[in-house]
Structure 1
Amino acid sequence: CHSSTTVIIKKIECKIIDPDFVDFPVCEVMANGKKSSVSVTAHIRQLPVSSVSLNVVLQPLYGKNLAMLNATWDACAFMKNRKRNRALNRLFKYLAPYTNVNHSCPYNHDIIVRNFTLWNQTPLFSSPNVAFKISIGVYAGDKYRALLVGRADLEN
Protein backbone atom coordinates (compact mmCIF):
# COMPACT_ATOMS: atom_id res chain seq x y z
CA CYS A 1 0.00 0.00 0.00
CA HIS A 2 1.58 3.28 -1.11
CA SER A 3 1.04 6.28 1.12
CA SER A 4 0.61 9.73 -0.39
CA THR A 5 1.28 11.41 2.93
CA THR A 6 3.93 14.12 2.79
CA VAL A 7 5.94 15.40 5.75
CA ILE A 8 6.67 19.11 5.42
CA ILE A 9 9.19 20.65 7.81
CA LYS A 10 7.90 24.14 8.55
CA LYS A 11 10.13 25.55 11.29
CA ILE A 12 13.31 25.01 13.29
CA GLU A 13 14.57 27.03 16.21
CA CYS A 14 17.93 26.37 17.88
CA LYS A 15 17.97 27.67 21.44
CA ILE A 16 21.30 28.05 23.20
CA ILE A 17 21.01 27.09 26.86
CA ASP A 18 24.75 27.15 27.57
CA PRO A 19 26.57 29.71 25.36
CA ASP A 20 29.94 28.60 26.73
CA PHE A 21 29.30 25.15 25.26
CA VAL A 22 27.58 25.65 21.90
CA ASP A 23 26.36 28.15 19.34
CA PHE A 24 24.43 27.67 16.11
CA PRO A 25 25.90 29.56 13.15
CA VAL A 26 23.35 27.77 10.93
CA CYS A 27 19.77 26.94 11.96
CA GLU A 28 17.30 27.21 9.09
CA VAL A 29 14.49 25.67 7.08
CA MET A 30 14.59 26.02 3.31
CA ALA A 31 11.14 25.64 1.79
CA ASN A 32 10.08 25.21 -1.82
CA GLY A 33 6.38 24.43 -1.87
CA LYS A 34 5.84 21.06 -0.21
CA LYS A 35 9.56 20.27 -0.37
CA SER A 36 11.47 21.51 2.64
CA SER A 37 14.81 20.84 4.24
CA VAL A 38 16.63 21.72 7.45
CA SER A 39 20.25 22.68 8.00
CA VAL A 40 21.82 23.04 11.44
CA THR A 41 25.43 23.54 12.46
CA ALA A 42 26.21 23.20 16.16
CA HIS A 43 29.60 24.76 16.84
CA ILE A 44 30.88 22.95 19.93
CA ARG A 45 33.06 25.20 22.11
CA GLN A 46 34.18 22.52 24.61
CA LEU A 47 35.79 19.54 22.94
CA PRO A 48 35.93 16.60 23.16
CA VAL A 49 32.33 15.64 23.91
CA SER A 50 32.23 12.19 25.44
CA SER A 51 28.74 12.08 26.97
CA VAL A 52 25.53 13.13 25.18
CA SER A 53 21.88 12.48 25.97
CA LEU A 54 18.92 13.55 23.86
CA ASN A 55 15.40 14.08 25.16
CA VAL A 56 13.00 13.80 22.20
CA VAL A 57 9.37 14.91 22.51
CA LEU A 58 6.88 14.60 19.65
CA GLN A 59 3.40 15.99 20.18
CA PRO A 60 0.48 17.35 18.15
CA LEU A 61 0.67 21.13 17.87
CA TYR A 62 -3.05 21.55 18.50
CA GLY A 63 -5.57 19.74 20.67
CA LYS A 64 -4.80 17.99 23.93
CA ASN A 65 -1.04 18.11 23.31
CA LEU A 66 -0.43 14.65 24.72
CA ALA A 67 3.06 13.58 23.74
CA MET A 68 3.18 10.72 21.23
CA LEU A 69 6.83 10.26 22.14
CA ASN A 70 8.78 11.47 25.16
CA ALA A 71 12.02 9.57 25.59
CA THR A 72 15.62 10.22 26.57
CA TRP A 73 18.46 8.33 24.92
CA ASP A 74 22.18 8.06 25.59
CA ALA A 75 23.42 9.14 22.15
CA CYS A 76 26.95 7.81 22.73
CA ALA A 77 25.72 4.32 23.66
CA PHE A 78 23.31 4.36 20.72
CA MET A 79 26.01 5.28 18.19
CA LYS A 80 28.25 2.53 19.60
CA ASN A 81 25.58 -0.11 18.87
CA ARG A 82 22.64 1.19 16.83
CA LYS A 83 20.98 -2.22 16.48
CA ARG A 84 20.25 -2.41 20.23
CA ASN A 85 17.55 0.27 19.93
CA ARG A 86 15.43 -0.54 16.90
CA ALA A 87 13.02 2.37 17.34
CA LEU A 88 15.75 5.00 17.57
CA ASN A 89 17.70 3.33 14.76
CA ARG A 90 14.65 3.61 12.52
CA LEU A 91 14.47 7.34 13.24
CA PHE A 92 18.24 7.76 12.78
CA LYS A 93 18.09 6.16 9.32
CA TYR A 94 16.11 9.19 8.12
CA LEU A 95 18.81 11.55 9.39
CA ALA A 96 22.00 9.59 8.68
CA PRO A 97 22.52 10.62 5.01
CA TYR A 98 22.42 14.30 5.98
CA THR A 99 24.75 14.48 8.99
CA ASN A 100 28.35 14.01 10.07
CA VAL A 101 27.14 12.18 13.20
CA ASN A 102 28.40 8.79 12.03
CA HIS A 103 30.53 7.45 14.88
CA SER A 104 30.39 6.98 18.63
CA CYS A 105 31.76 9.42 21.20
CA PRO A 106 33.98 11.25 21.73
CA TYR A 107 33.15 14.01 19.25
CA ASN A 108 36.01 16.34 18.41
CA HIS A 109 34.18 18.41 15.82
CA ASP A 110 31.06 20.46 15.13
CA ILE A 111 27.79 18.64 14.54
CA ILE A 112 26.39 19.32 11.08
CA VAL A 113 23.06 18.50 9.46
CA ARG A 114 22.79 19.65 5.83
CA ASN A 115 19.60 19.75 3.75
CA PHE A 116 17.78 17.14 5.88
CA THR A 117 14.45 16.40 4.25
CA LEU A 118 11.58 13.99 4.72
CA TRP A 119 10.36 14.58 1.15
CA ASN A 120 9.53 11.26 -0.54
CA GLN A 121 10.05 9.39 2.76
CA THR A 122 7.35 7.11 4.12
CA PRO A 123 6.17 8.54 7.46
CA LEU A 124 6.53 6.33 10.53
CA PHE A 125 2.75 6.39 10.94
CA SER A 126 -0.31 7.45 8.99
CA SER A 127 -2.51 10.23 10.23
CA PRO A 128 -5.00 12.77 8.97
CA ASN A 129 -3.54 16.19 8.25
CA VAL A 130 -1.84 17.23 11.47
CA ALA A 131 0.91 19.57 12.69
CA PHE A 132 3.53 18.32 15.15
CA LYS A 133 5.91 20.02 17.51
CA ILE A 134 9.26 18.27 17.84
CA SER A 135 11.58 19.18 20.71
CA ILE A 136 15.09 17.81 21.18
CA GLY A 137 16.81 18.69 24.43
CA VAL A 138 20.58 18.22 24.29
CA TYR A 139 22.53 17.29 27.42
CA ALA A 140 26.32 16.89 27.48
CA GLY A 141 28.30 16.05 30.58
CA ASP A 142 24.96 15.84 32.44
CA LYS A 143 24.27 19.53 31.78
CA TYR A 144 21.42 20.98 29.71
CA ARG A 145 23.17 22.62 26.73
CA ALA A 146 20.70 23.30 23.91
CA LEU A 147 17.13 22.88 22.72
CA LEU A 148 15.99 22.37 19.14
CA VAL A 149 12.29 22.97 18.51
CA GLY A 150 10.64 22.36 15.18
CA ARG A 151 7.33 21.99 13.45
CA ALA A 152 6.46 19.37 10.87
CA ASP A 153 3.12 18.94 9.10
CA LEU A 154 1.72 15.67 7.79
CA GLU A 155 -0.37 16.34 4.69
CA ASN A 156 -2.38 13.79 2.75
Structure 2
Amino acid sequence: MSTERPEPPTIADERTALEGWLDFHRATLAHKVAGLDEAQLREASVPPSTLSLMGLVRHMADVERSWFRRCLAREDAPPIYYTDADPDGDHNVTAEDSWEEAYATWQAEIAAARDIVRGRSLDDLGFAPHRNKEFDLRWIYIHMIEEYARHNGHADLIRERIDGATGA
Protein backbone atom coordinates (compact mmCIF):
# COMPACT_ATOMS: atom_id res chain seq x y z
CA MET A 1 0.00 0.00 0.00
CA SER A 2 1.54 3.27 -1.13
CA THR A 3 1.06 6.33 1.03
CA GLU A 4 2.76 8.75 -1.35
CA ARG A 5 0.47 11.69 -1.95
CA PRO A 6 0.56 13.55 -5.24
CA GLU A 7 0.62 17.31 -4.82
CA PRO A 8 -2.31 18.92 -6.60
CA PRO A 9 -1.16 21.35 -9.28
CA THR A 10 -1.19 25.04 -8.39
CA ILE A 11 -1.65 26.10 -12.00
CA ALA A 12 -3.71 23.82 -14.23
CA ASP A 13 -6.70 23.54 -16.49
CA GLU A 14 -10.00 22.65 -14.82
CA ARG A 15 -9.84 18.90 -15.48
CA THR A 16 -6.26 18.53 -14.29
CA ALA A 17 -7.00 20.51 -11.13
CA LEU A 18 -10.11 18.47 -10.30
CA GLU A 19 -8.36 15.14 -10.88
CA GLY A 20 -5.31 16.35 -8.95
CA TRP A 21 -7.35 17.27 -5.88
CA LEU A 22 -9.37 14.05 -6.01
CA ASP A 23 -6.18 11.96 -6.24
CA PHE A 24 -4.67 13.97 -3.37
CA HIS A 25 -7.68 13.23 -1.14
CA ARG A 26 -7.76 9.55 -2.11
CA ALA A 27 -4.07 9.31 -1.18
CA THR A 28 -4.71 11.20 2.07
CA LEU A 29 -7.16 8.55 3.22
CA ALA A 30 -4.64 5.84 2.28
CA HIS A 31 -2.03 7.72 4.33
CA LYS A 32 -4.36 7.89 7.34
CA VAL A 33 -4.85 4.11 7.42
CA ALA A 34 -1.22 3.19 6.72
CA GLY A 35 0.71 1.24 9.32
CA LEU A 36 -2.22 0.19 11.49
CA ASP A 37 -3.16 -3.37 12.33
CA GLU A 38 -6.57 -4.92 11.73
CA ALA A 39 -7.78 -4.27 15.28
CA GLN A 40 -6.84 -0.58 15.07
CA LEU A 41 -8.55 -0.23 11.69
CA ARG A 42 -11.74 -1.66 13.21
CA GLU A 43 -11.65 0.54 16.31
CA ALA A 44 -14.77 2.72 16.55
CA SER A 45 -14.27 6.45 16.97
CA VAL A 46 -16.44 7.09 20.02
CA PRO A 47 -19.18 4.76 21.22
CA PRO A 48 -22.00 4.44 20.33
CA SER A 49 -20.76 5.44 16.85
CA THR A 50 -19.60 2.57 14.64
CA LEU A 51 -17.38 4.91 12.59
CA SER A 52 -13.94 3.36 12.07
CA LEU A 53 -11.11 3.74 9.60
CA MET A 54 -12.10 0.44 7.95
CA GLY A 55 -15.68 1.69 7.80
CA LEU A 56 -14.56 4.93 6.14
CA VAL A 57 -12.63 3.00 3.48
CA ARG A 58 -15.65 0.75 2.88
CA HIS A 59 -17.89 3.83 2.69
CA MET A 60 -15.63 5.49 0.13
CA ALA A 61 -15.60 2.31 -1.98
CA ASP A 62 -19.39 2.52 -2.12
CA VAL A 63 -19.29 6.27 -2.84
CA GLU A 64 -16.81 5.79 -5.72
CA ARG A 65 -19.04 3.03 -7.09
CA SER A 66 -22.20 5.07 -6.74
CA TRP A 67 -21.02 8.21 -8.49
CA PHE A 68 -18.76 6.80 -11.19
CA ARG A 69 -20.20 3.38 -12.00
CA ARG A 70 -23.91 3.77 -11.22
CA CYS A 71 -24.33 7.46 -12.01
CA LEU A 72 -21.81 8.40 -14.71
CA ALA A 73 -21.45 5.03 -16.48
CA ARG A 74 -25.07 4.06 -15.72
CA GLU A 75 -23.97 0.54 -14.76
CA ASP A 76 -26.13 -1.84 -12.80
CA ALA A 77 -23.67 -1.87 -9.90
CA PRO A 78 -25.45 -2.51 -6.60
CA PRO A 79 -23.98 -1.22 -3.34
CA ILE A 80 -21.14 -3.29 -1.97
CA TYR A 81 -21.59 -2.94 1.78
CA TYR A 82 -24.89 -1.27 2.59
CA THR A 83 -28.44 -2.41 1.98
CA ASP A 84 -31.92 -1.03 2.44
CA ALA A 85 -32.09 -3.13 5.62
CA ASP A 86 -28.69 -1.82 6.81
CA PRO A 87 -28.11 1.64 5.31
CA ASP A 88 -24.97 2.01 7.47
CA GLY A 89 -23.60 -1.40 6.47
CA ASP A 90 -20.46 0.19 5.07
CA HIS A 91 -19.65 1.50 8.56
CA ASN A 92 -20.94 -1.55 10.45
CA VAL A 93 -17.84 -3.73 10.24
CA THR A 94 -18.40 -7.33 11.39
CA ALA A 95 -16.00 -10.04 12.55
CA GLU A 96 -16.24 -11.64 9.09
CA ASP A 97 -15.06 -8.47 7.32
CA SER A 98 -11.36 -8.04 6.60
CA TRP A 99 -9.15 -5.05 6.03
CA GLU A 100 -7.50 -6.75 3.08
CA GLU A 101 -10.85 -7.10 1.31
CA ALA A 102 -11.99 -3.56 2.19
CA TYR A 103 -8.78 -1.96 0.93
CA ALA A 104 -8.70 -4.07 -2.26
CA THR A 105 -12.34 -3.25 -2.99
CA TRP A 106 -11.74 0.47 -2.47
CA GLN A 107 -8.72 0.41 -4.80
CA ALA A 108 -10.71 -1.56 -7.42
CA GLU A 109 -13.49 1.05 -7.33
CA ILE A 110 -10.94 3.86 -7.73
CA ALA A 111 -9.43 2.03 -10.73
CA ALA A 112 -12.91 1.56 -12.22
CA ALA A 113 -13.65 5.26 -11.72
CA ARG A 114 -10.43 6.24 -13.50
CA ASP A 115 -11.31 3.96 -16.42
CA ILE A 116 -14.84 5.39 -16.63
CA VAL A 117 -13.73 9.04 -16.78
CA ARG A 118 -10.95 8.47 -19.30
CA GLY A 119 -11.79 10.38 -22.46
CA ARG A 120 -15.00 11.91 -21.09
CA SER A 121 -15.85 15.57 -21.08
CA LEU A 122 -16.53 17.42 -17.84
CA ASP A 123 -19.91 18.17 -19.44
CA ASP A 124 -20.83 14.47 -19.79
CA LEU A 125 -23.97 13.64 -17.85
CA GLY A 126 -24.74 10.79 -15.53
CA PHE A 127 -27.98 9.97 -13.76
CA ALA A 128 -28.13 9.31 -10.01
CA PRO A 129 -31.15 7.11 -9.29
CA HIS A 130 -30.93 7.81 -5.55
CA ARG A 131 -31.43 11.53 -6.27
CA ASN A 132 -33.51 11.13 -9.43
CA LYS A 133 -31.52 13.73 -11.39
CA GLU A 134 -28.62 14.22 -13.75
CA PHE A 135 -25.14 15.40 -12.77
CA ASP A 136 -22.24 16.36 -14.99
CA LEU A 137 -18.77 14.93 -14.46
CA ARG A 138 -17.58 18.31 -13.18
CA TRP A 139 -20.14 18.19 -10.35
CA ILE A 140 -19.21 14.57 -9.58
CA TYR A 141 -15.52 15.49 -9.24
CA ILE A 142 -16.33 18.40 -6.94
CA HIS A 143 -18.67 16.25 -4.86
CA MET A 144 -16.06 13.49 -4.55
CA ILE A 145 -13.41 16.00 -3.44
CA GLU A 146 -15.85 17.32 -0.81
CA GLU A 147 -16.77 13.79 0.30
CA TYR A 148 -13.14 12.74 0.74
CA ALA A 149 -12.19 16.01 2.45
CA ARG A 150 -14.98 15.60 5.00
CA HIS A 151 -14.15 11.98 5.72
CA ASN A 152 -10.41 12.66 5.81
CA GLY A 153 -11.18 14.99 8.71
CA HIS A 154 -12.96 12.12 10.44
CA ALA A 155 -10.01 9.83 9.65
CA ASP A 156 -7.58 12.35 11.12
CA LEU A 157 -9.47 12.41 14.43
CA ILE A 158 -9.87 8.62 14.56
CA ARG A 159 -6.17 8.09 13.79
CA GLU A 160 -5.15 10.57 16.49
CA ARG A 161 -7.35 8.73 18.99
CA ILE A 162 -5.79 5.37 18.04
CA ASP A 163 -2.09 6.19 18.16
CA GLY A 164 -1.65 9.94 18.50
CA ALA A 165 -0.59 10.44 14.86
CA THR A 166 -1.67 13.83 13.52
CA GLY A 167 -1.23 15.93 10.44
CA ALA A 168 -0.76 15.26 6.76
- TM normalised by structure 1 equals 0.30
Structure number with higher strand proportion = 1
> Which structure has more RCO (C-alpha within 8 Å, separation ≥ 6)?
1
Structure number with higher helix proportion = 2
